[in-house]
Amino acid sequence: MAKQPIHITLFGGGNVGTHLAKNLFKLSGVRLQQIYNRHLSNIKSFEKQTEIIDDLSQLKPADLFILALKDDVIVSFSKKLKDFDTLTVHTSGSVPMIALQTRRKGVFYPFQTFSKDKPDLDFSNIPIMIEAETEQDLQLLKTLADSLSKKVEIVNSDQRKALHIAGVFAANFVNYMYRQAENILQNNDLSFDLIKPLIIETAQKVQNLSPAHAQTGPASRGDMKTIEKHLDFLTQKTEFELYKYLSELILKDRNNL
């Protein structure tokens, strides 16, 4: 007997939902049978590929409900699905699985930064974190995740939160450092283009080397003279204070070695 495809209904028309839908449509073992959104206009681009709905009474029986919703509406929305026996997962990094108000709960968290600017995002290199309450539900999620990505991990809600926080450091705060660089360059009539190769190289370096070993710069070599020269040069308050604070932290780490 041929294996049945996994019947999925996706909820949400935001970044994660849109990218996820595009990738789910490519899978032979999956039937993305419905996409729900409060406003049909947000999911209209999918109407040729599947049924789009804005009314929960239209829901068909499914193996999996995926709630690709904003953190602050996941819990309240899940209440509306509390009478279904369908495994229901959210895609958030910071909402505990247990917060879901459905009978069967799980998490399906693709760990990547999603932006609308990128029309196509290949999931095969995006780590997916899964969690469920029963071995059977976990197996369903693992089958799905394995068919989307080469990197699937079973993690609990605390670990997922830790990963999310690590992501804030490695992506959001990193981007904030890029912004400081951009400001400094602009204020000195220099193009941000000049620093782009350095940004790529710095990211590539830690693909093979622990960041603890990849640390370079004036603070990591205890070069107080350069640090002072740089602080003299920085006139904007935020840049000055940030440079000082981070250099002190790196110097302290250095002294603790």
- 199-218 positions binding a copy of itself, by CB under 8 A: 199-212, 214-218
Task: Name the minimum Å distance from CB 12 to a copy of itself.
Answer: 16
* Element of type H or E holding 120: none
Q: Cβ distance 102 to 85 under 8 Å?
A: no
Separation of alpha carbons 17 and 31, rounded Å:
15
Q: State the DSSP string of 33-59.
A: EEEE-SSGGGGGGGTTTSEEES-GGGP
Residues in contact with a copy of itself, counted by CB under 8 A, come to a total of 87
Candidate residues 125, 134, 136, 236; the one interacting with a copy of itself per rule CB under 8 A: 125
Residues 138, 142, 144, CA angle at the centre, nearest 5°?
A: 120
Positions in 44-73 near a copy of itself (CB under 8 A): 71-72
Instruction: HSE, CB side, 13 Å, CA atoms: give it for residue 200.
Output: 5
Site string for a copy of itself, 156-195 (x = CB under 8 A): --xx-xxxxxxxxxxxxxxxxxxxxxx-xx-xxxx-xxxx
Does 245 bind a copy of itself (CB under 8 A)? Our answer is yes
Does 224 bind a copy of itself (CB under 8 A)? Our answer is no
Task: Name the minimum Å distance from CB 13 to a copy of itself.
Answer: 18
CB-nearer residue toward a copy of itself: 56 or 165: 165
Task: Name the minimum Å distance from CB 21 to a copy of itself.
Answer: 19
Q: State the DSSP string of 128-175.
A: EEEEESSHHHHHHHHHHHHHH-S-EEE--HHHHHHHHHHHIIIIIIHH
Q: Cβ distance 114 to 121 under 8 Å?
A: yes
Task: Name the minimum Å distance from CB 241 to a copy of itself.
Answer: 9
Candidate residues 198, 222, 236, 254; the one interacting with a copy of itself per rule CB under 8 A: 198
CB-nearer residue toward a copy of itself: 40 or 170: 170
Candidate residues 9, 249, 251, 257; the one interacting with a copy of itself per rule CB under 8 A: 249
- By C-alpha distance, which of 68, 86, 91, 52 is closest to 18? 68
Query: Residue 36's beta-bridge partner residues?
Result: 11, 53
Task: Name the minimum Å distance from CB 85 to a copy of itself.
Answer: 30
User: Looking at 42-50, 56-64, 110-118, 139-147, which segment touches a copy of itself (CB under 8 A)?
Assistant: 110-118
Does 196 bind a copy of itself (CB under 8 A)? Our answer is yes
Based on its alpha-carbon atoms, the radius of gyration of the chain, rounded to whole angstroms, reads 23
